[in-house]
Amino acid sequence: MPAAHPHAVGRAVRVRLTRDDVMYYTWVQALARPVLPFLLYSFVLLTFASILGLWPAGRAFALAALVPLLGYLLWVWLVGRGLWSKYPQLRAPRTYRFDEAGYTIQTPENTVKVRYDELSRLVSSRRALYLVRRDGSADILPRSALPEGLEGWLQAKVPETERSSFL
In this structure, the answer to whether residues 64 and 102 fall within a common structural domain is no
| pTM of the shown model | 0.80
Quote the mean pLDDT of the chain.
89
Which of 59, 57, 28, 53 has the alpha carbon at shortest distance from 138? 28
Assign 28 a pLDDT band (cuts: 50, 70, 90): very high
Within a domain: 74 = yes
In this structure, the answer to whether residues 154 and 130 fall within a common structural domain is yes
In this structure, the answer to whether residues 65 and 117 fall within a common structural domain is no
In this structure, the answer to whether residues 48 and 30 fall within a common structural domain is yes
Within a domain: 52 = yes
In this structure, the answer to whether residues 58 and 115 fall within a common structural domain is no
Asked if the model's pLDDT at residue 2 lies above 70, the reply is no
- Residue 51 lies in domain: 25-86
The one-character DSSP state at 13 is E
In this structure, the answer to whether residues 59 and 79 fall within a common structural domain is yes
Assign 64 a pLDDT band (cuts: 50, 70, 90): confident
Within a domain: 2 = no
Total domain count, the chain? 2
Residue type, 32: A
Dist. CA 5–CA 151, nearest whole Å: 10
Which of 5, 1, 22 has the alpha carbon at shortest distance from 92? 22
Contact 141, 96 (CB under 8 A): yes
Residue 34 Cα distances to 42, 53, 90, 122, angstroms: 12, 28, 27, 19
Asked if the model's pLDDT at residue 113 lies above 90, the reply is yes
In this structure, the answer to whether residues 51 and 101 fall within a common structural domain is no
Contact 114, 122 (CB under 8 A): no
Over residues 50-78, mean pLDDT? 89
